[in-house]
Amino acid sequence: PPGGGAATTAASPPAELQAKADRIAKSLAEMYPDPPIPLDHGNTFQFLCAVVLSAQSTDKKVNTVTPKLFAAAPTAHAMAELSIDTVKEYIKEIGLANSKAKYLVNLSKQLLELHDGEVPSDFKALEALPGVGHKTASVIMGQAFGIDAFPVDTHIHRLAARWGLSNGTTVERTEADLKALFPPESWRDLHLQIIFYGREHGQASQSYPWSGPICTWAGLEDPPATTPAKKRRAKEEAGAGKATGKKPPKARKKL
């Protein structure tokens, strides 16, 4: 499919669900009309490195360590010449610094060996790089190369379930469901708009009744769990209900 990775579903979404998705997209466009890329970078290689560094870390934190790192290694050639310990020293303030230092050095070497030091505009080639999974590849394809892609991070996964746009079973399912609801030309901005909304109005710590300009009307009373911990808890509660003969939790309201 054009967006790569998870395929869009073949069947058209129900009209009521599509209308809800359209209203959400309209609200997001009004709130965040020209969403900027939140990771600071000077070229596509630096953007790739910043996205790799952002895993299990905040963009704000990444932006505090990359200026000195990119001053020392602005290109794949320069990064490949640094030792892993040197890179680790530059990024030690962010999580998983040991692994991420190895990723940056090794992906730089692989870019030199296979792609003349340039970041490839191809899903398969990107996902073959150390430290680059489907989400990171989707971010690069969509934001750097303008190729249709809908990366799903924790904010998007959570809000898609909270808004009833996906059932939350997997990130792959959420990606496919969102691609079926929104036109490809909107994916680049929507990816960023939902992230910004999640940070500002749709945090994981919130509970029903929801607050926020979209969650107040779009949020389900009992949305599907989207994290391993919440899924385990939901399963345990369902099991306890069966054991005690109590009725299971109320089903989430329909759209």
Own/partner pairs, 77-81, CB within 8 angstroms, 24+ separation: 77/108, 77/112, 77/117, 79/45, 79/49, 79/104, 79/105, 79/108, 80/105, 80/108, 80/109, 80/111, 80/112
Q: Is there a catalytic annotation at residue 153?
A: yes
Residue 4 and residue 181: Cα distance in Å, rounded? 16
Residue pair 195/9 in contact (Cβ under 8 Å)? The answer is no
Q: Is there a catalytic annotation at residue 124?
A: no
Q: Which of 40, 109, 153, 230 is catalytic?
A: 153
Residue pair 107/88 in contact (Cβ under 8 Å)? The answer is no
The closest alpha carbon to 139, from 128, 127, 226, belongs to: 127
For residue 178, what are its two tokens?
Answer: 């969102």
Measured from the Cβ of residue 242, the count of other Cβ atoms closer than 10 Å reads: 9
How far separated are the first and last CA of the chain, in Å rounded? 29
Q: Which of 20, 88, 100, 135 is catalytic?
A: 135
Residue 137 and residue 175: Cα distance in Å, rounded? 14
For residue 221, what are the CA distances in angstroms to 11, 23, 141, 177, 236?
A: 26, 19, 35, 20, 20
Residue 153 and residue 137: Cα distance in Å, rounded? 12
Residues designated catalytic? 135, 153
